[in-house]
Amino acid sequence: MVVLIAGLIAWHATHDGISTVHIRSTMIIAYLSASLTCAEMMRRYRSMSYTQSLAVFIKGAESMVYISIVLVLAWALGSVNADVHTADYIASLIGGSLPPMYFPMIVFVLGAIISLSTGSSYGTFAILMTIAVPVGFDLGASMYLTIAAVLSGGLFGDHVSPISDTTVLASVGAQCPHLDHVSTQAAYAGVTGLVAFIAYGLAGAYESPMVLPIAVVMLFLSMYFLMRLFGHSGEST
């Protein structure tokens, strides 16, 4: 599978150029070839007939139906948000009268909200970067912090978004109910996001590299005390 993917992509890149059609056809050819190879190896070393391998293949394909349904619904909701310009409206809430020290914090929150509502981190980057950077420059805010706030806010929102394709695939791949996966990972990501939010406030006020180790210590202590408070040792009672 790996050899076919690398070889076909390299061939397309040197001949016609890589497009969406080339990527999808490459993945299909590689997956089917790997499945046929696996069936032959099972027949040779495990005495499993092609009919039995086909039954296993179909059973595995059935489990992908749920993933497809959830992804289609998630993409539909993301398309609705895009059509009503939800992200543009949220990004327009950034005003030009904010104090520079608070600007990275606001950008981080807006990036998280946009990514959470659209399920796309890269879409958030494209929308918010073109707005936050010029406004931050006019306000005199740190460009390093502004760009970092856009990137980290978009990734944080995408990580906890129930309509993100990566979140859907992670929950189904782990055979975990989707909303249970979202709620459990949101607890850990929320603590990290809160610490990042505070760190952006400190960095905006002091602009010192010492903010980074302080944030790491804050995150470690937060996780430690929360695990001591809500965690379980796993010992039987």
Compute the Cα dihedral for 180, 174, 151, 130 and give only its sign: negative
- Domain residue ranges of the chain, discontinuous segments joined by +: 2-48, 82-230
Closest residue by Cα to residue 114 from 166, 145, 149, 144: 149
Q: Judge if pTM exceeds 0.85.
A: no
Q: Which long-range contacts (CB under 8 A, 24 or more apart) does 86-93 make?
A: 86/114, 86/117, 86/118, 87/114, 87/117, 87/118, 87/123, 87/124, 87/127, 87/128, 88/127, 90/114, 90/117, 91/127, 91/128, 91/131, 91/132, 92/131
pLDDT in tens, the chain (237 residues): 999 999 988 888 888 777 778 888 898 899 899 999 999 999 888 888 888 888 888 887 776 776 677 667 767 766 776 777 766 665 566 655 667 888 888 889 988 888 887 777 777 787 778 778 877 887 778 888 889 999 998 888 888 888 777 787 777 777 788 778 888 888 888 889 999 999 998 888 887 888 889 999 999 998 888 888 877 655 544
Between CA 75 and CA 165 the distance in angstroms is 8
Between CA 193 and CA 196 the distance in angstroms is 5
Q: What is the pLDDT of residue 67?
A: 66
